[in-house]
Structure 1
């Protein structure tokens, strides 16, 4: 996939942003060197790497990451003012930072490509679409971009800090660790890596359903098959979960992949923020299909934290917008939660029924 070139910036400007700004960041942090850990400095530097990735793409994000790593080693790792690395934990930190910077650049590059395609598609539709719809569509694109950037910069902090801390502890030759501690730190690294993977998978799902050039493949579907496929998408999370189905009518017309993605996110949110059992119901009435997930609201201290950026809800809204429908999330009486996908029957089907 070919990345689009950075716009609005000359090469010399990008060089300054990639090389000079990391130097300024390092100099600003230098007075607090005795108070800051390498993880703290790395997280602050990665914020700038994220901005560069969004503005200029993967190549400049990698250049910014490399310069940031060198400055981190030069100013904040003993012996100071050298590039000598005498502890393996610092080397692990640098490698993780380089890999993460490259990954952020790649993800942001894909986002920039999709945004470029979206804007091109909008220009092609200007003669056919009304002005109000164009403005709303542009707002959705900007909202999605802001959401993804907040997600990247915010949700990487805790998992990355945990991974760096655990790996540093395991690599420290001066520490004598018991088998239980080693196992615990290894599990921490695995769990936080899994969180990162799940988060990026969800970001890719959002990118998939919000492509404006997406053409709906409307086909007749067996709702039971959609439920099974959605459960398979979140198999590890839903394993052993009490799940009830109430399918009044077994078939609908929709895009199978997009409907499956939306339902998978509804089930995930039900598990993370609600209590068992989870009920999946489907019905057709008044010219609309209705697919909903409901369960009891979990006690506050039992509710699992999601990304905090509403990616699951955004995915469901995007899927329903493509189907000219609605995503409804509400807390009804009785301390329960209900999430509903509601979209109209195609005109020919509505007439027949």
Structure 2
């Protein structure tokens, strides 16, 4: 018979405290505000706790915490109170959405923890060949990468989660008399934000792929025009109808084609979403230093919304440049009001070289 494995960092009683007892205490603390707090307010606070449990305790315990939170929400904050009976069927929508979001967060965290475990395994193998200084550096990079991914997830998931919960709450509220058009609008909001969550999950997969390629990447001569075409095709739904101004001072560079394509695709997507047409793509190879930049005009408001260092797109570009011993930078030209994102890495002519 299978038993529930517990996280090695915590004792079983501590995990039960985090995933079962703590949600009860949180619900009791919120109980005095039941008259003024909506079920959406309570659900968002409960999902915040689920996120913390997922980060520190793991996927299984986050799912347990999600079920506990949904039951407590029904028991204490939905009439009739102190029963699990739901006399308003529309509240089922809120419960289902909250449950799905909690499971989604738990699965994302589980994926991140799996990638962290793989990275640690790789690091242990590398320790046999490296000295203590190198080991310490790898550990620092690993922890930084994990923290960056968690911050990115928190940043990118906050808005769609809030929108989905708000829309589902409106549909479930019997006191609101919504027209058919308003119902369709809120249903469309839920669909659009769910699609956005799916896109974020795809980016997590891209970032995982970038990190997994650390030991197998190939530095070889590639045509810059091919990289640009492949990057646009990768984000075809967003970029297919856009106009681009391409300026190539050189036609070839030395890089891992797949990684460079992934980074450029994220730069182009960000430029199109937050700036104006046309988007300028420029490449040069000067004094042994390759530079691939994406820029376009933008307003001051749009600049503030740009992916300024906390999004998954930025994390992916930084990871790609780290593997190329280069850097990813962004800047705003105050005179022309152009936002510029740039990949810079040293040129090497060693075809087929592997970075390990």
Q: TM-score, with normalisation over the residues of structure 2? A: 0.87
Higher relative contact order (CA 8 A, sep 6+): 2
Structure 1 runs not aligned, ≥5 long: none
Return closer, same or farther for 1:65/1:144 CA change in 2, 3 Å cut-off. same
Q: Secondary structure at the match of 2:9?
A: coil
Q: Does 1:39 align with 2:49?
A: no
Assess if the C-alpha contact under 8 Å between 2:231 and 2:265 holds in 1.
yes
Q: State the alpha-carbon separation in 2 of the partners of residues 247 and 308 from structure 1.
A: 27
Q: CA RMSD in A?
A: 2.6
Deviations 1:109-164 (A, max 9, x none): 11112112222322332354455554444333323322333344454343223223
1:344 to 339, 343, 346: 346
Structure 2 runs not aligned, ≥5 long: 352-356
Q: State the alpha-carbon separation in 2 of the partners of residues 152 and 218 from structure 1.
A: 30
Deviations 1:264-320 (A, max 9, x none): 111122223332211112222322322211222334268656597232222111101
Q: State the alpha-carbon separation in 2 of the partners of residues 303 and 271 from structure 1.
A: 15
Q: State the alpha-carbon separation in 2 of the partners of residues 157 and 212 from structure 1.
A: 29
Deviations 1:53-85 (A, max 9, x none): 122222111111111111111111100000001
Q: State the alpha-carbon separation in 1 of the partners of residues 56 and 281 from structure 2.
A: 42
What is aligned with 1:105?
106
Q: Secondary structure at the match of 1:94?
A: helix
Aligned pair count reads 347
Equivalent positions of 1:1-353 (< 5 A) are 6-129=7-130, 131=132, 133-171=134-172, 175-211=176-212, 213-300=214-301, 304=305, 306=307, 309-332=310-333, 333-348=335-350
Return closer, same or farther for 1:311/1:131 CA change in 2, 3 Å cut-off. farther
Q: Secondary structure at the match of 1:83?
A: coil
Return closer, same or farther for 1:129/1:337 CA change in 2, 3 Å cut-off. farther
Q: State the alpha-carbon separation in 2 of the partners of residues 165 and 307 from structure 1.
A: 27
Q: State the alpha-carbon separation in 1 of the partners of residues 336 and 158 from structure 2.
A: 37
Return closer, same or farther for 1:267/1:34 CA change in 2, 3 Å cut-off. same
Q: Secondary structure at the match of 1:290?
A: strand
Deviations 1:315-339 (A, max 9, x none): 1111011112222322235322222
Assess if the C-alpha contact under 8 Å between 2:74 and 2:83 holds in 1.
yes
Assess if the C-alpha contact under 8 Å between 2:283 and 2:291 holds in 1.
yes
Q: State the alpha-carbon separation in 1 of the partners of residues 76 and 275 from structure 2.
A: 47
Q: TM-score, with normalisation over the residues of structure 1? A: 0.88
Q: State the alpha-carbon separation in 2 of the partners of residues 208 and 173 from structure 1.
A: 46
Return closer, same or farther for 1:283/1:52 CA change in 2, 3 Å cut-off. same
Q: Secondary structure at the match of 2:70?
A: helix
Q: Secondary structure at the match of 1:327?
A: strand
Larger mean CA deviation between 201-210 and 172-181 belongs to 172-181
Deviations 1:195-236 (A, max 9, x none): 222222223322322347542033432322221221122222
Q: State the alpha-carbon separation in 2 of the partners of residues 256 and 5 from structure 1.
A: 41
Return closer, same or farther for 1:220/1:81 CA change in 2, 3 Å cut-off. same
Return closer, same or farther for 1:30/1:151 CA change in 2, 3 Å cut-off. farther
Larger mean CA deviation between 159-168 and 309-318 belongs to 159-168
Q: State the alpha-carbon separation in 2 of the partners of residues 133 and 297 from structure 1.
A: 42
Assess if the C-alpha contact under 8 Å between 1:89 and 1:167 holds in 2.
no
Return closer, same or farther for 1:121/1:28 CA change in 2, 3 Å cut-off. same
Return closer, same or farther for 1:348/1:112 CA change in 2, 3 Å cut-off. closer
Assess if the C-alpha contact under 8 Å between 1:121 and 1:212 holds in 2.
no
Q: State the alpha-carbon separation in 2 of the partners of residues 154 and 84 from structure 1.
A: 36
Larger mean CA deviation between 315-324 and 244-253 belongs to 244-253
